Structure 1
């Protein structure tokens, strides 16, 4: 059935929901959708914390995957059909504070990518009421702290629930243990809504940058605005359909563009623009 194919669903959601929101000219209108996506992620976090105290450890976990359904609805996982594993060893319920293996190298670029918000700073500042440097700094500090707290709590309680048996997709681990659960289905829907409503916010600064690079001296045109938006969204859909795992995208962007935006370019701009401080000052060295 076509509606069970993930690729068709991605295209359908992009055309029906993401594209109309991405075509909005002003970022302020997306504040409502961003607020809704934030509420969805807070609901996800609350469920993760509550499940930590509901799921005992050690637990026995039996998993039988329907191979056809898995291939059409989800990305392939590390499990094979009719595979059963146990979490009955007490040692599996002891946290390991430092883990170094072949997967550890993915952690740094993914963490770097998760805090990339720099492209949206200028559009947000442009539409900020009573804008000033101090007000923008307060917005940035509150946003960074809130995201850091949500990332930390979700990762911490997710790990302390399943320990070494956590999968790359946390919600799939809950389904493995609990089977069909109405609350988990609602959480999945909330995460889906949150991710979907975040895409237009990300597209806005990308389109703004492309417009300023190619057509800075020209007046606003809905045709140009629409073509750039559709092109960006089409490229995004191609990545979603053809790249096997999201980890590869996060790892590549985190190791390249995210590192430039977070560590290299801000420091280079500060050194270039701030002339009153010597090169050996604490601010420029740090």
Structure 2
């Protein structure tokens, strides 16, 4: 009934806006001219379509982690992987639901402002810092792929050796060129919705990647001599080409954090919501559900067809596994290029929430200004490029950031926002929704503790190996 009232009210446009004041905020459209709403989020009418919003959110979800899903399946088995993937996808949808409910009650569509409303200035700063650290780590990981993969693609295309001293074979120069020529112009877009077309093209590149993975499953025979190091007369183990449905080993415990991080898109949810045409909670929730479902399907098919190609020989980076079969495979070379394009076009989408977080901290309440818009983009891209160029191995930094910020963005902050922002007279603490939100928050702390524990064990075992020789 509420949706029918809203649809009728929309026919009168601006004339009927004041009349919607009596509708419950979480069920009604946000008021673009509401006097107590922050002007920086209501100074324009959202014009981004449903499809463009799905492209942007899907592109925010899609990351380089898709290359490691087949390896994750090899350490869990098909059925256990599917169960874990389904659980994480459902939890991500529920997390978006909590964010939208919290934003609907207070009429705010900014992650940092929700932190301010829930915990005051410290909550606002904490949310902004978490978003900034997480997305800088994501941008850096994408540019690291460009740094190491693009020279290999150019090397193969030109038929040159890996030891070539040509400047265009230097990854450091290449990431600067890619940043200046592709990422920076896209990062200058005023609104995130304008990136819908580039996000759509990025997703097409990943669909091509998935198509090749499926094709190669029926094109590459098992067993592979390059992995087994078996002679012609040596018998192979019986389980070399046997799919496992359930398996537990030392690497299995890493699967849950990997899958959880694969669905991190929550810093982009509220900015996309802000620019959505005809913005309602249900419409934005449908965008989140469609995006997560699409990525769920793509993740599962990529994982299972990659795993059924290499079985227990699947490596952590799937494209590297294909290259060990045939380094000069033209189709795999095209896939490498497609993945490079996809991650490059994802960087501007990830940059937008960082810029908004910095604006919330440094310039709260200020109207849009092109100089600030451009300057923050320049500083962010300059800093990320320096990080990628001068830090040879930031795996541990990424590990710490990912183990702390990803659970915070998916589980902890949405749950806490919901508990603090939803009025107690509407939903007391012993109500089912708030009990669920409390359990959801606790699950985030469990994930964080588990991930940090794994990293600590890795560091200790690494030190033991370094002291113990080979």
Mapped partners of 1:152, 1:118: distance in 2 = 21
86 and 174 in structure 1: CA distance in 2 versus 1, 3 angstrom threshold:
farther
1:66-118 per-residue CA deviation (whole Å, 9 max, x = no partner) reads xxxxxxxxxxxxxxxxxx835954422123432321x4444333322211111
What is the RMSD of the two structures over their aligned residues, measured on CA atoms?
Answer: 2.1
How does 1:17-28 map onto structure 2 within 5 Å?
17-28=182-193
Q: Any stretches of 5+ residues in structure 2 without a counterpart? A: 1-165, 437-470
2:199 paired with 1:34: yes
Counterpart of 1:146 in structure 2 is 294
Aligned to 1:65: none
Q: Which residue of 2 aligns with 1:58?
A: 223
Match of 2:279 among 120, 127, 131: 131
Task: Quickly say closer, same or farther: Cα 1:191–1:109, change in 2 above 3 A.
Answer: same
Aligned length: 264
CA deviations over 1:111-151 (Å, ceiling 9, x no partner): 22211111111211111111111100100000011111111
Q: How far apart are the structure 2 equivalents of 1:94 and 1:239? A: 42
Q: How many angstroms apart in 1 are the aligned matches of 2:322 and 2:215?
A: 12
Tell which deviates more after alignment, 10-19 or 195-204: 10-19
Q: Encode CA deviations 1:236-275: one digit per residue, 9 max, x unaligned.
A: 2234335556764653333111100111111111111222
Within a 5 Å distance, the mapping from 1:1-286 to structure 2 comes to: 1-61=166-226, 85-86=229-230, 88-96=236-244, 97-101=246-250, 103-244=251-392, 248=396, 251-274=399-422, 275=424, 276-286=426-436
Q: CA–CA distance in 2 between the matches of 1:236 and 1:247?
A: 15
CA distance in 2, matches of 1:112, 1:47: 25
Residues 8 and 85 of structure 1, relative CA distance in 2, 3 Å threshold: farther
CA distance in 2, matches of 1:129, 1:123: 12
1:22 and 1:229 in contact (8 A); partners too: yes
Q: Indicate conservation of the 8 Å contact 1:49/1:154, yes or no.
A: yes
Distance in 1, matches of 2:312 and 2:243, equals 8
Structure 1 residue 212 displacement after superposition: 1.7
* In structure 2, distance between residues paired with 1:251 and 1:147: 23
3-state SS of 2:225 partner: strand
Question: What residue is the counterpart of 2:460 in the other structure?
Answer: none
Give the distance between the partners of 1:94 and 1:269, measured in 2 at CA: 46
Q: CA deviation at 1:219?
A: 2.9
Summarize the Cα distance change of 1:192–1:269 in structure 2 as closer, same or farther, 3 Å threshold. Answer: same
TM-score, normalised by the number of residues in structure 1: 0.85
Residue 4 of structure 1: how far off its partner (Å) = 0.8
**1:110–1:251 Cα contact (<8 Å) kept:** no
1:59/1:86 contact within 8 Å kept = no
Q: CA deviation at 1:163?
A: 1.6
Closer, same or farther in 2 for the Cα pair 1:115/1:100, shift >3 Å? same
The whole-number CA distance in structure 2 between the counterparts of 1:38 and 1:52 is: 21
Moved more, 107-116 or 20-29: 107-116
Structure 1: which 5+ runs fail to align?
63-83
